[in-house]
Structure 1
Amino acid sequence: MQVMSPSRGLQGRASNFSSPGNVHVLFARMVLPVLACTTLLSGCIDVNVPDYKRPDTPAKTTWSQTAKALVSPADTITLDWWKQFHDPYLDSLVSRAIAGNFDIKILAARVSVAGGQINEARAGALPTADLGAGAEFDKTTRQDFSKQYNVATQVNWDIDIWGAVEKGVQAQKAEYRATEADWRAGYLTLVSDVSTTYFQILQFDDQIDQQQKTLRTNQQILTIYEGMAKNGLVPSTQVLTQRAEINRMTKDLLELHRARDLANNALATLIGVPAGEFTVPAGQLEKRVQIPVVPAGLPAQLMARRPDVVAAEYRVLEAYDVVGQAKLAQLPTISLTGRGGTASFALTDLLKSFTFSFLPSINIPLLDPGVRAHVKTTEAQTVVVEQQYRRTVMGAFEEVENALVNLDAHTKQRAELQEEVGHLQVVAAQVEAQLKEGVVSQLEVFETERTLLAAELALLENHQQLLSDTVTLYKSLGGGWPAVDVQKTDEASDTTAAHGAQREFTASKGATN
């Protein structure tokens, strides 16, 4: 803070401003001519503040893999959509992740930062005041030692007559809303990652169980081959080939255990627990998790729920406000400065006399090349965020279409796999009956069983694919968030802006309980 000495420059000005009428007259003589010149000069520059318009994107009314009859968006996906899998353990994992995941905490903290920056931007239109005190000591050769004490204050107010500061406030409000949408996107990503990782772990459990059964069958086949080789019924190469098959299957079993441990570590990190200190109990995917029915005719309007699309559009709105602020910055600014203070050579006399001054000033940046260049920069940045919004929308269309394609294809594949397993189960039963009658050998029974186990394993993998496809579809359609109409926020809603994300965060935690 600069400490002013009232004895230097403040004295002698008090008489000029001793009368309020003189202040008004002087201010009018300064301001009115400048405003007149400004009005003439402003006709040479563009200060038109653009109205927000959503960037145009290719229209999409429906999806290629759904029926024509549309359902209500509100009835399609709920906020706690993961509960449609009917797995209480998954519900508990999601609750723990929302409460303990550090990525979601970072996003929530960024929302708080953006809320604070709204007040910071608004402070640009408020007066500022400085208060200072100091002492000055002088000693010159052949001169007496001198000292002086002073106390001074200064009040400055840059009047936002054109609304440039308010434009900055509106831009920061849009950034706040975009940051809120970023938090929602992180929330969706977290829930989908927890769900798919959990499904993968259970799939590994099923695969490990199936692999162990297949390995036991192949070991029994090896025993038969070894007996046949001793009797010269099969060559020794047949035995070696079967042993190699067992080596391969043992290696695959070890790989499944490794993949399961890695997925478990990933899930531990997602829920905020150190890796290695959390383990999902072994289970069976089909018995634990049900595949929810995805309604036919999903409306394309569900895309308005997607938080990343909402965030991208709010940043376009922010860019519009920044352009408006840059254009209004080309107009003159009026500053009112008041100074007052006292000075004395003795502390006891410090408060006996006062001086003050009033200094109105006008700054005209019309010819400042930096200001005009900044306008061009903000306009170019608006083009960037508009293209980013279009890219986000197009990427969202692709993600939804891919999820629907995968879900449709895997559903059709499931029907074929179920028929395949059914056929092989009939064959296995018949071969088992023929074994009892002595028509076939035990080797044929084991071979049939091995083929059936492979088909059942493929069916289990398909079950996990359908679950993951459903999670991806829910995520790509924006989960259960309501549709958002991006527009300027009013003052009433802004009064609680700084706490909005925290309320949603708490409500979302409650929805999981």
Structure 2
Amino acid sequence: MKPLFPYSCRAGAAACALGAALCGCADVSMAPYQRPDAPAKAAFSAKEAAPVSASDTIRPDWWKEFLDPYLDRLVAQAIEGNIDLRILAARSRVAQAQIGEARAGALPTLDAGAGASFEKVTGQKFSQTFNLGTQVNWDIDIWGKFEKGVQAQQAGFQASEADWRAGYLSMVADVSSAYFQILQLDEQSARQQQALERGRQILATYEAMHAAGLLPNTRVLQQRAEINRLTSDLLELRRARDLAANALATLLGRPAGELTVPPGRLQQTVQLPPVPAGLPSQLLERRPDIVAAEYRVLEAYNLVGQAKLAQLPSISLTGRGGSASFALTDLLKTFTVGLMPSINLPMFDPGVKARIKTSEAQTKVAEEQYRRTVIGAFEEVENALVNLDAHRKQRAELEQQVAQLEVVARQFAGQLREGVVSQLDVFESERSLLAAQLALLANHQQLLSDTVTLYKALGGGWPAVQVGAAQR
């Protein structure tokens, strides 16, 4: 009989030759990563001013442009306590831990165990056996399959960090908008209270005129109904203010009802910051949601590469060592060691081909989601610029309207003393002036919200990120 060892060598050589042949048949080629094609713009529609540099356009702490220290404190509290932001941070830590999990797949594993067996058979002596064993398994990452998995997890981690930045930006925008709404409601309530007090004065005048037979009762009833309307509107404003304060408390990570925002006047407290026009579309590269979407494309790209490399033969080494003895004191006197290399040929596994197709299909989904994010970003920026432009023009008209109605109200008040106009004319002029002042207040709040929306749409001052630059 021929020795067994040479036969084993010939079988191993044949297996290696077969593996090499299969490597040549497997398609594992991957084109270098490229950012997916997406709609692009050279500049946005607003062209009133020359383009400016990204660093000069939006500061990272852009909310300080409103020159309101109380808003600055609210944002600082929200950064510390916002629950949604904490959830995103926790997800980022999970993604970071998954990188280590992917790296661990390429490392050897060690198992160790010990045991004992005790047996008593009728008519025979009591027997006992002790054993000790260890086993080391190592799947050798010859082709870089595990490394591709690590790269995919790293891209997923970067996407989760960009998600946190996007959540941070949305949170700051929501805090700012909620605070502006509260101040607007405060100022509306103050003006509504003044109108209510003036309405009660009017009612007293009407009641006196009716008692003197100078005014019909229907006019008195109409004024009472007007007071009912003003009171109802004032209650509604206070209700909306309480709800806005509850929403702001939630954004700060505090129980609703425990936040007390001091009353203020929006137009006197919050300044309108100058927003440069002609903003370059390259600022969209700073948007965290676009960065996150592209990192997910890169993650899918690396998963395709890992799936393709899984077609190649894999080599694993298994080392075993152990000892067995009838006496515990003799357990370590003898020790056996063995090494068993093996090769796995996954080309015959239909699941490998199926995984490649699935990964490629998922890459297409990630690419289309990236394009959707980009096209949505263009819409958000354009809408913010359109709103800002329209509301600025409306503000100029409203300021002229208020100025003209203030002149009319002053003139009517003087003419009333001279008996030229009636009290009803004065009341109507005051009502028109109040409506115009409230419209100007609402316009101020709209301009502030439009500015917040624009800052958010342009990335909120986050630095630009070159996705995949380190992996090319």
* TM-score strictly above 0.5: yes
* Residues 243-282 of structure 1 mapped to structure 2, 5 A cutoff: 243-282=224-263
Residue 181 of structure 2 corresponds to residue 223 of structure 1: no
Q: Which sits farther off after the overlay, 31-40 or 162-171?
A: 31-40
Aligned counterpart, 2:30: 49
Residue 390 of structure 2 corresponds to residue 409 of structure 1: yes
* Residues 348-427 of structure 1 mapped to structure 2, 5 A cutoff: 348-427=329-408
Counterpart Cα distance in 2 of 1:49 and 1:345: 58
* Residues 321-340 of structure 1 mapped to structure 2, 5 A cutoff: 321-340=302-321
* Amino acid across the alignment from 2:167: G
* Deviation of 1:32 (Å): 3.8
Aligned counterpart, 2:98: 117
8 Å Cα contact 2:39-2:374 kept in structure 1: no
Residue 427 of structure 2 corresponds to residue 443 of structure 1: no
Residue 409 of structure 2 corresponds to residue 457 of structure 1: no
Counterpart Cα distance in 1 of 2:51 and 2:45: 13
C-alpha change, 1:89 and 1:30, in structure 2 (3 Å) is farther
* Deviation of 1:31 (Å): 4.6
* Residues 80-99 of structure 1 mapped to structure 2, 5 A cutoff: 80-99=61-80
* Residues 172-321 of structure 1 mapped to structure 2, 5 A cutoff: 172-321=153-302
Paired residue secondary structure (1:366) = helix
C-alpha change, 1:30 and 1:171, in structure 2 (3 Å) is farther
In the comparison of the two structures, how many residue pairs are matched? 469
C-alpha change, 1:28 and 1:473, in structure 2 (3 Å) is farther
* Amino acid across the alignment from 2:316: S
8 Å Cα contact 1:61-1:300 kept in structure 2: yes
Counterpart Cα distance in 2 of 1:444 and 1:156: 96
Counterpart Cα distance in 2 of 1:50 and 1:239: 83
8 Å Cα contact 2:26-2:312 kept in structure 1: no
Counterpart Cα distance in 2 of 1:117 and 1:46: 28
Which of 84, 99, 114 is residue 133 of structure 1 equivalent to?
Answer: 114
TM-score between the two structures when normalised by the length of structure 1 = 0.88
* Deviation of 1:35 (Å): 3.0
* Deviation of 1:112 (Å): 1.3
Residue 162 of structure 2 corresponds to residue 160 of structure 1: no
8 Å Cα contact 2:102-2:146 kept in structure 1: yes
Deviation sequence 1:176-210 (CA, Å, 0-9, x none): 10000000000001100100000000000000001
Aligned counterpart, 1:342: 323
8 Å Cα contact 1:50-1:324 kept in structure 2: no
Identity over aligned pairs, percent: 67
Counterpart Cα distance in 1 of 2:311 and 2:424: 90
Counterpart Cα distance in 2 of 1:253 and 1:26: 97
* Deviation of 1:445 (Å): 2.0
Counterpart Cα distance in 2 of 1:30 and 1:421: 96
Q: Which sits farther off after the overlay, 234-243 or 482-491?
A: 482-491
Residue 46 of structure 2 corresponds to residue 65 of structure 1: yes
Counterpart Cα distance in 2 of 1:66 and 1:233: 61
* Deviation of 1:262 (Å): 0.7
Paired residue secondary structure (1:194) = helix
8 Å Cα contact 1:118-1:169 kept in structure 2: yes
C-alpha change, 1:488 and 1:156, in structure 2 (3 Å) is farther
* Residues 483-494 of structure 1 mapped to structure 2, 5 A cutoff: 483-489=464-470
Paired residue secondary structure (1:125) = coil
Deviation sequence 1:454-492 (CA, Å, 0-9, x none): 11111111111101110010001000101111115469x
Q: Which sits farther off after the overlay, 65-74 or 88-97?
A: 65-74
TM-score between the two structures when normalised by the length of structure 2 = 0.96
Counterpart Cα distance in 2 of 1:301 and 1:206: 39
* Amino acid across the alignment from 2:204: T
8 Å Cα contact 2:311-2:346 kept in structure 1: yes
8 Å Cα contact 2:184-2:445 kept in structure 1: yes
- Could you list the runs of 5+ residues in structure 1 that have no partner in the other structure? 1-15, 17-21, 492-513
* Amino acid across the alignment from 2:183: L
Paired residue secondary structure (1:335) = strand
Paired residue secondary structure (1:51) = coil
Which of 409, 428, 431 is residue 428 of structure 1 equivalent to?
Answer: 409
C-alpha change, 1:407 and 1:443, in structure 2 (3 Å) is same
* Deviation of 1:438 (Å): 2.4
Counterpart Cα distance in 1 of 2:119 and 2:271: 88
* Amino acid across the alignment from 1:228: M
8 Å Cα contact 1:115-1:176 kept in structure 2: yes
* Amino acid across the alignment from 1:38: G
Counterpart Cα distance in 1 of 2:239 and 2:452: 25
Paired residue secondary structure (1:152) = strand
- Could you list the runs of 5+ residues in structure 2 that have no partner in the other structure? none
Paired residue secondary structure (2:346) = coil
* Amino acid across the alignment from 1:481: W
Deviation sequence 1:369-425 (CA, Å, 0-9, x none): 111111111111111111110111111111111111111111111001000000001
Counterpart Cα distance in 1 of 2:111 and 2:374: 50
